[in-house]
């Protein structure tokens, strides 16, 4: 303890007063909520179909595409990392996009310079590891909002640095690195057919059950730049990390994290090295962020401005929507976040005449709705869809 940041024994009346809403013994089952939300969406869609006709098929198709997009998977991985930070440990990391960007840079630059894939992944991870150590060392002993301010600032520093014209040869400056310069090593691993082979499982199923062409299709190249191969790998990784995190959190280590989230001083008084554990958490979540960044740039390019504060805030929204401190919350949140945005944008575009809201306006409108929903979720349902209200993770 070197600072005044925490004051043990200091009275904190608020802490006592929020002593959990325990009257509600067993929170309503999350599945029930999921079903209710699905029902709501369906009703909304039916109304939309009535009002908008053919547009609704387009919208649903767009939502589906967005839901399984490799970048949604990438964000899901990064959100799993954020869940380690915030959901389980209570760390306010507002620089998760910075971890992603570092991972992406390390990965893409190494690959474009001819390093083998495993080494490139290690370089990206190492960059995130160093970032976590540098950020964590001074701030993890301070009050929580210091970490928030430092992480958000440090992530911006990374982005500004990446954009530097002087680093043109390295990071590609503001234009970033084109995917073609690093993607090869990944696509060449594909065991799916290459070339122009296109798969459309949804259309295939629709044909088999006799629906014919209803307009729903998910057709992508099997390998290609942004095809099934990258989707397969991205979602497999999401599954892998979800399982890994599950194992970690049912362990005594996970219990320790939750204890720290609840009250660091209590844990300290029990002889645990709180700083080390928080640092481990920061590193694990940061590494997941870096991996998310690598997946994120596989089907596209490394764009420093695509991994700025906005992306961090979207990830927070996704996490809180899905439910912090829950195993599947991050994944559900990421999928819903992107799919619902298409729904909002699409329905606004279809239902509201252009004279009132043009295309650019619907785009802005969808973000306004997202911002407002973030506020509403945090106020009225801080545990999100899958979280447990009894272990509401907002410690004061």
Partner 1 sequence: MSEQTAGLSSMAEPQARLAVTQGIDRTPGAAKPDPILEVDNIVRKFGGITAVDVGHLEVQRGIITALIGPNGAGKTTFFNLITGFDRPTSARSGAHWSFDGRKLDKTSASSVALAGMVRTFQLTKALNRMTVMDNMMLGGRDQKGENLLFGPFWPAWRKQEKEIEDRATGLLQRFKLLEKRNDYAGSLSGGQRKLLEMARALMSDPKMIMLDEPMAGVNPALTQSLLGHIQSLRDEGMTVLFVEHDMHMVRHISDWVVVMAEGKVISEGRSDEVMADRAVIDAYLGAHHDTDLGDDDLLKDDSAMEQLSDEAAAEEQDKA
Partner 2 sequence: MLVLAPMLMTIGASSASAATLCLPKQGETSCISGSIGTRSKPYPGVDVTLAKPDGTEETVVSDDTGKWSFAVTEKGTYSVRADASQLPKGINLIPPAAAEAGDAKDSFRIEINKLGASRAVILQVRAEDYDASTNFTDQLMQSIVNGIRLGLLIALASLGLSLIYGTTGLSNFAHAELVTLGGVLGYAFIRVLGLPMIVGGIAVVMACGAIGWLQDRAIWQPLRRRGLGLNQLMIVTIGLSLAAQYTFQYFIGAGTVKVELGTGDVANIGPVVITYRSMGAMAIAIVMILIVGFALLRTRIGRATRAVSDNPALAAASGIDVDRVIRLVWTVSGALAGLSGLLYALVVSNGIRWDTGLQILLLLFAAVTLGGLGTAFGALVGSLIIGLVVELAGPLGAPGDLKYAVALGIMIVLLMVRPQGLLGRAERVG
Question: Buried b vs exposed e over 125-143: b needs ≥16 C-beta within 10 Å?
Answer: bebbbebbeebbeebbbbe
20 lies in the binding site for partner 1 (CB under 8 A): yes
Yes or no: say if 103 and 307 are a contact pair by the CB < 8 Å rule: no
> In the numeric block, which tokens belong to residue 142?
């301070």
Query: Closer CB to partner 1, residue 142 or residue 248?
Result: 248
Distance (Å, whole) CA 78 – CA 68: 16
Report if residue 24 touches partner 1, rule: CB under 8 A.
no
Which option in partner 2, partner 1, none does residue 256 bind, with CB closer than 5 to 8 A by kind?
partner 1
Q: Interaction with partner 2 in 375-394: which residues (CB under 8 A)? A: 375-376, 378-379, 382, 394
Q: How many whole angstroms separate alpha carbon 197 and alpha carbon 199?
A: 7
Q: Does 273 bind partner 1 (CB under 8 A)?
A: yes
Tokens of 27: 């929170």
Closest CA to 157 of 107, 98, 96: 98
Q: How many CB atoms lie within 10 A of CB 42?
A: 10
Smallest distance from the beta carbon of 89 to partner 1, in angstroms? 12
x/- map, 118-147, partner 2, by CB under 8 A:
--------------------xx--x-xxx-
User: Among 225, 367, 381, 389, which residue interacts with partner 2 (rule: CB under 8 A)?
Assistant: 367
For partner 2, the binding residue among 13, 19, 209, 356 (CB under 8 A) is: 13
* 365 interface partner picked from partner 1, partner 2, none, CB below 5 to 8 A per type: partner 2
Nearer to partner 1, 164 or 266 (CB): 266
CB of 87 to partner 1, least distance (A): 12
Interaction of residue 6 with partner 2, rule CB under 8 A = no
Q: How far apart are CA 241 and CA 250, in angstroms?
A: 14
Please choose, out of 102-110, 280-288, 312-320, 325-333, the segment that lies near partner 2 by the rule CB under 8 A.
312-320
- The answer to whether 159 and 305 are in contact (CB under 8 A) is yes
| Residues facing 177 on adjacent strands | 302
Q: Does 8 bind partner 2 (CB under 8 A)?
A: no
Choice from 87, 316, 336, 350 touching partner 2 (CB under 8 A)? 316
Q: Which two tokens stand for residue 319?
A: 């996490």
Site for partner 1 in 372-391 (CB under 8 A): 390-391
Shortest CB 156 distance to partner 2, Å = 6
Q: Does 264 bind partner 2 (CB under 8 A)?
A: no
Q: Which of 94, 241 has the CB closer to partner 1? A: 241
How far is the CA of 178 from the CAs of 15, 71, 227, 321, in angstroms? 50, 16, 17, 32
What does the alpha-carbon distance between residue 242 and residue 210 come to, in Å, rounded to a whole number?
A: 36
Shortest gap between Cβ of 96 and partner 2 (angstroms)? Answer: 13
CA 382, CA 284: separation in Å to the nearest integer? Answer: 24
- Of 311, 325, 327, 385, the one binding partner 2 by CB under 8 A: 311
355 binds partner 2 (CB under 8 A): no
Query: Do 105 and 126 touch, CB atoms closer than 8 A?
Result: no
Question: Residue 18 burial (CB < 10 Å; 0-12/13-18/19+)?
Answer: exposed
Binding site residues, partner 1, CB under 8 A:
1-2, 8-9, 11-12, 15-16, 19-20, 22, 244, 247-248, 250-256, 258-259, 262-263, 265-274, 277, 280, 284, 390-393
């Amino acid at each position: 303890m070197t600072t005044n940041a925490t004051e043990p024994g200091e009275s904190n009346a608020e802490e006592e007063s929020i002593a959990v809403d325990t009257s509600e013994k067993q929170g309503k089952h999350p599945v029930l909520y999921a079903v209710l939300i699905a029902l709501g969406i369906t009703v909304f869609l039916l109304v939309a179909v009535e009002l908008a006709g053919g547009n609704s098929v387009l919208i649903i198709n767009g939502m589906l595409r967005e839901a399984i997009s490799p970048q949604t998977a990438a964000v899901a991985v990064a959100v799993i990392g954020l869940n380690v930070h915030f959901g389980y440990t209570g760390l306010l990391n507002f620089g998760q996009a910075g971890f992603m960007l570092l991972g992406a840079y390390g990965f893409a630059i190494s690959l474009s310079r001819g390093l083998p894939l495993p080494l490139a992944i290690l370089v990206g991870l190492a960059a995130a590891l160093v970032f976590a150590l540098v950020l964590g060392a001074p701030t993890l002993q301070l009050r929580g909002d210091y970490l928030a301010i430092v992480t958000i600032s440090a992530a911006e520093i990374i982005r500004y640095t990446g954009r530097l014209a002087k680093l043109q040869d390295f990071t590609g400056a503001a234009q970033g690195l084109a995917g073609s310069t690093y993607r090869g090593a990944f696509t060449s691993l594909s065991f799916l057919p290459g070339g122009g082979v296109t798969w459309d499982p949804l259309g295939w199923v629709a044909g088999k059950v006799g629906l014919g062409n209803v307009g729903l299709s998910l057709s992508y190249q099997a390998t290609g730049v942004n095809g099934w191969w990258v989707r397969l790998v991205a979602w497999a990784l999401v599954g892998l990390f979800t399982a890994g995190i599950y194992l970690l959190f049912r362990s005594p280590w996970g219990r320790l994290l939750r204890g720290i989230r609840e009250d660091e001083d209590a844990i300290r008084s029990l002889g645990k090295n709180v700083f080390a554990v928080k640092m481990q958490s920061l590193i694990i979540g940061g590494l997941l962020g870096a991996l998310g960044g690598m997946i994120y740039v596989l089907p596209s390019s490394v764009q420093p401005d695509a991994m700025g504060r906005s992306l961090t805030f979207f990830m927070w929204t996704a996490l809180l929507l899905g439910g912090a401190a829950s195993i599947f919350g991050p994944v559900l949140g990421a999928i819903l976040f992107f799919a619902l945005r298409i729904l909002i944008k699409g329905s606004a575009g279809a239902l509201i005449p252009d004279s009132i809201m043009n295309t650019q306006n619907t785009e802005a409108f969808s973000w306004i709705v997202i911002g407002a929903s973030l506020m509403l979720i945090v106020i009225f349902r801080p545990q999100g869809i899958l979280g447990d209200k009894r272990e509401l993770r907002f410690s004061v």
